[in-house]
Structure 1
Amino acid sequence: MPREKEGKQKTKGIPVPIVPILQKFLKTYEQHCAQMQTFVCPALKQDLKTSISSERILRKFMLVRPEDSPPSIPPISLEPLLMTIQDECYMLGKEICIWSLQLSNPEIARLASLLELRGCAACPFTSLELIDCRMDLWSLGRLGRALPCSCLRSLVLDYCRFGNEEIENIFSGLENNQRLQVLSLRYCGLGPQSGPRLGAIIYQSSVCELHLDGNCLQCSGALALLRPAAEYAEKQGRDQPATSPPDLGSPPQQLQVKQRGSSTLNQTTKSPGALPGKTPAGKERRKKGIKKKIKDLTEAGPWLVKLYLADNGIDGKGKEGENGLLEFTQILTCLITYSAHLREIDLGNNVLGEMAAADILEALRARKTGLFQL
């Protein structure tokens, strides 16, 4: 019996034979493209061949239509790739990146179904990039409904132009999201009306990195975005002025996870009577299960660490005038002064003026919670 256990332990460390897996993946992908009469993505095919030749796992799938491709060639479709991932049970991928494609309802429906997978066949992808892609209202609604169920840590929707109703579908899927950490909505046509929704999302989710460059939030939208987090930070700062800054090596939400995990485990180990008849091995398995659950879910924020608001029309020229800029500056300086997590903010290509710059500099001097990059 001991020898048998020893043999099992040895096989556990055997590396995955990635070359035949990727070769079969490429063959299946080409077959699905042929069946659906769609074009094999040259970038994806090249990435697969490169991974095969270098004997490395392919973590990122990129679909992009070649710039010089004639209109006569069939379109590149997401569906053959998703079908291949499911047919081959490929669980080693982590990122899907799609550039400049028209995504149909069936493609988004299959993508959403993949993101929602749970159990043994759980979706392995933690990052989704849909850059300059065109989706209709139904597709955005279906994608939005999948977000709360997904394991995504990063969502990038840059250069996807959204109307009010369209972006609302995405916002609805981001409410109280306890997994997503990076959200990028650069150049998406967001206006001042998106500010309150974004502010609520940041306040109630685990998002710690927010990219909003190239929109038109203006003073009112940016003010509504920052106000909930700033008021919370001020309250926390006044109630606990001696709070030590978080470790710069770890995102704040991970720190919170560790704290929650340690306290939970301490309660488990201090109360042996609560688990009658459990062996030490059983307790150890239970601890690992607790750690895994805690790692997957994060306590709601605000955890904002990096904020990018470049080129958003934040100046005194909107309908709010100078008063709007003054109010925005007050909220911004409050956030800078009191936030224990904020480390970086980009306000490039916004005309704030000398008075606002002086107030921000003063807030940086008054800040007592670690380094800051502006």
Structure 2
Amino acid sequence: MPGKKKGKGKKGKGKKGKKGKKKDKNSALRGEPGAAVKSVLRAYDENCARTASLSCVGLRRKLKASYEDNILLEKFLLEGYEDSPPDQPIMMVEPLLDALRSERYVFIKELSVWDVPLKHENVASVALLLEKQVYPLRQLELLDCGIESYPVTRLARSFPAHPFLSTIILDYNDNLFLDGNDLECEGAMELIKMVADTAEREAFERAEEVRMKAELEAEKELEGKKKKKEAEPPKVGPWLKKLHLAENGLDAFGKAGNYAPVICMRLFRKLITNSNCLEELDLGDNHIGDLGGRELLQALLDRKEAKLPTLSLGVSPMMHQDTFTLLMKHSGSLKKKGKKKKGKGKGKKKKKK
């Protein structure tokens, strides 16, 4: 009997001891946030060495400053190096993501990746981090990473699973493919509003530039001076070239009501009319209606009058047949879309008759 009491006492002490250790560890983490940042830095360095990845000096500096000041780091910036020699190791995003996972660092709120080439597997790693729903990321910025269309679709699938994400920046990546995400008219308008406004401003600047050149040439002719060729300014960009928003609920059945498709297409009209960079716009499987289709048609006519490149357009045929035929006539066909080619052919036959 005495032996049993001793055993119970030992077990009890052992349990209390373990609980006590856990409490001390948690309180130390809360009291010294720098320790958590330091562990992330250590794990990041180890992962870079293991994967032969180039380490980001700026990120290491930020992490080191945070743990020295005993504060949590919420904004992580992974910035690549421009014009790096070909024999130099490439920078990868996985060492940082693995460090966040292994150290269970759940204090990150913003993740920015600049000038780091991201292939499908790299983008998938970022998407998996979002799908964990543990990291309270509010802003994701993938700037000038050369992301192609297929990886973007993988990334887009992770957005509905993440409750905190409110800002996504994919500048200088040319293409934006968000098919099948149920954005509805309001979401699509929020997505392209800034792009449409910028395109309108750039169109005004182009018109002003043409006018100024014409005035200068007229002045030179009056003065009798020979016309000199001026060097062209460097191109700014790249800007948005391909925008795919097929099957996103751009119709009258959403929360915005019956007039939502028309209002939404007016914003797309501004983008189509003014953007000289936009090459493809896919709005297929969205019931924008005949009025919405007419807005797009007017945009294509305005674009043609402004002598901008032909836009490849994809829309649902759920509108008046004449409107759909004219849309197909004044736009290019999207690749791998047999239905649109047929529609275009029908339009031509009717015209011959």
Normalised TM-score (structure 1): 0.46
RCO (CA 8 Å, sep 6+): is it higher in 1 or 2?
1
Considering only CA atoms, is the larger Rg found in Structure 1 or Structure 2?
A: 2
